[in-house]
Amino acid sequence: MQDHNQDVRSKDGREGKKILLFAGLFVILLVAAYFTQNKNKANAEKINFDLYVMSQCPYGTQAEEAVAAAMAGLEDYVNFNVEYIADKTADGNFQSLHGQNEVMGDLYQLCVKNNYQDKFWKYLACQNKNYQDLNSSFESCANEIGADFSELKTCAAGQTGAELLTASLTKAKELNVSGSPTFYINGEQYTGARTQIALQRALCEATENKAKVCQELPQDKEFTAYLIRDSRCTTDMCATTGLEEQLKTTFPKIKFAEMDYITDKGKEFFEKYELTYLPAVLFTKDVEMTDNYNQVQKYLTPTGDLYNLAIGASHDPAKEICYNNIDDTGNGKVDCADPDCTGFLECRSEKAKRLDLFVMSMCPYGTQAMNVMKEVLDNFGNNVDFHINYIANENADGSFQSLHGQNEVDENIRELCALKYYPETYLDYIWCRNKNIQGDWTECAANYPSIKACFEGSEGKKLHSENIALANSLDIGASPTWLVNNRYAFNGIDAETVRANFCKYNDVDGCQNALTGQTQAGSTSTPAGSCN
């Protein structure tokens, strides 16, 4: 009996332990389910913040830096995601605006996001230190964040990377996104300022100001911008609609006070603040207390009690208006007869079959424009008189400035040297360079020995000084800009646009042929744009 009781007690003890064990497991499962449910609920309550970029776009990398700062304190309320902008060709390859290195940059960054999500921001920060040459930092940045480079390399070069990039490009195309950067907050495109505080305000508004950081954001400052125009000037150089929209985006609380030069008040304002060109925008000094003051600070010049914003205006209201059939200066000469109108396009003498292209040699839109000239020249042959003109500025000391820095100035000079010494084949050098414009130029110059001496000596600088004078005299600053017959300007980066505009003013053999355009079937859907 004693043994039986012991067995019963042992059996009861084991059963009790089982019950306790099952009860414990049940509690654990309930707790896990609770936290999982709450986690899923929290994720569901988060808004989506998507940034679409090209990995080697300077504006895209700046946006990434602003976003990294703006997300601080909002991680529990916002799901942030980076997607990429490029094209996938019919043969399954990828093309991007800044070349093949940018495609590889997209692939490596996507592989890091896929395999090392918690280290993605650190990898971006590392790569963005030298965004113009991402290829040089794939391995070093992987090592810096503690990622397995061989794993990333396999991903980027293989099927996984291709699938990740295809999925990313699909998202961009579904939204018709082509500009880098493009922001989407909670499914709506964000077009406000790309600064930390502006992004934080937008995110806080979208999340109903739940985060603590939202309660600490300072209020923006209201200020006045005096906008003075000349209503007699009706050309694009005097248009201000785009400028006003941009300023409203940068400064949501800006208030415009408008004036016209032809009124007494407008002329008095023009003279009081010693203005030279119109349109002009002058800020009250309250702009110093706005969130985005740092974005415009370097473009502001103190003028009395106001700041004059440098906007590149070029209309001199004291000179002849060249298209209104009025003698504006009172010298008895109307419009094109007045010496003031010498540089006005419509007053230039017409030169049949001439086609000028104004570019910056390292502008991605400019290189595409130069590349399409192969198809254009093949189509028109001797029926087009083609000229390349570069966009840059010459300093008082004889040095040059260009948008993309000294490397661009140097390449301008080399291409002009090729033009002088190899007028029949210089475009072959340019087309070779455009395949890798940031790469070693000597490889493309191997069959053009005179380029080196011309470039390194004073001759190249003289060619450059003479060449850039035309763009400056015509106030052309956007790359690419085309000029037909010495008079008619247009923009575009595909062969069909060039053909159509050239044939508006020239009836020659070749005009009957449709060339590759942006909307043609089988085209690469090259985005339009310019550097300026």
Q: Pick from 531, 528, 530, 510: which is nearest to 518 by CA?
A: 528
Q: Pick from 430, 342, 434: which is nearest to 386 by CA?
A: 430
The Cα–Cα gap between 468 and 358 comes to 9
Q: CA torsion angle for 472, 475, 480, 484 (degrees, to 10)?
A: -100
Q: Pick from 219, 201, 121, 112: which is nearest to 160 by CA?
A: 112
Instruction: Say what the pLDDT of residue 195 is.
Output: 84
Q: Kindly report the number of other CB atoms within 10 A of residue 70's CB atom.
A: 24
Cβ partners under 8 Å of residue 444, min gap 6: 429, 432, 433
The Cα–Cα gap between 101 and 440 comes to 14
Cβ partners under 8 Å of residue 219, min gap 6: none
Same fold, 47-215 and 223-309: yes
Q: Cα dist. 269→277, 281, 299 in Å?
A: 13, 12, 20
What tokens does 275 get? 């203005």
Q: Pick from 448, 421, 420, 417: which is nearest to 432 by CA?
A: 448
pLDDT in tens, 397-453: 999 999 999 999 999 999 999 999 999 999 999 999 999 998 999 999 999 999 999
Query: Could you tell me if 83 and 55 are in contact, meaning their C-beta atoms sit under 8 angstroms apart?
Result: no
Instruction: Say what the pLDDT of residue 295 is.
Output: 85
Q: How many residues does the chain have?
A: 532
Instruction: Say what the pLDDT of residue 1 is.
Output: 42
Give CATH for domain 47-215: 3.40.30.10
Q: Cα dist. 430→188, 293, 366, 408, 464 in Å?
A: 42, 41, 11, 13, 16
Q: Cα dist. 390→97, 414, 461 in Å?
A: 20, 12, 13
- Provide the residue ranges of all domains of the chain, joining segments of one domain with +: 16-45, 47-215, 223-309, 350-505
Instruction: Say what the pLDDT of residue 144 is.
Output: 96
3-state secondary structure of 387: strand
What tokens does 74 get? 């909002």
Superfamily of domain covering 350-505:
Glutaredoxin (3.40.30.10)
pLDDT in tens, 189-223: 998 888 888 899 999 999 999 999 999 888 788 99
Side chain identity, residue 384: V
Q: CA torsion angle for 359, 362, 363, 364 (degrees, to 10)?
A: 120
The Cα–Cα gap between 311 and 238 comes to 11
- Looking at the domain 223-309, which fold is it? Glutaredoxin (3.40.30)
Q: What is the pTM of this model?
A: 0.58
The CA angle 465-470-476, to the nearest 5 degrees, is 115
- Which helix (H) or strand (E) is 224 found in, with range? strand 223-229
Residue spans of alpha helices (H) in 158-276: 159-174, 196-206, 212-215, 241-250, 264-272
Q: Kindly report the number of other CB atoms within 10 A of residue 404's CB atom.
A: 22
The Cα–Cα gap between 48 and 187 comes to 7
Query: Could you tell me if 249 and 281 are in contact, meaning their C-beta atoms sit under 8 angstroms apart?
Result: no
The Cα–Cα gap between 370 and 531 comes to 14
Query: Could you tell me if 450 and 413 are in contact, meaning their C-beta atoms sit under 8 angstroms apart?
Result: no
Residue 17, class by beta-carbon neighbours within 10 Å (0-12 exposed, 13-18 middle, 19+ buried)?
A: exposed
| Weakly modelled stretches of the chain, pLDDT under 50 | 1-10, 27, 31, 33-42, 519-527
Give phi and psi for 479, each to the nearest 5. -110, 120
3-state secondary structure of 257: strand
Instruction: Say what the pLDDT of residue 193 is.
Output: 82
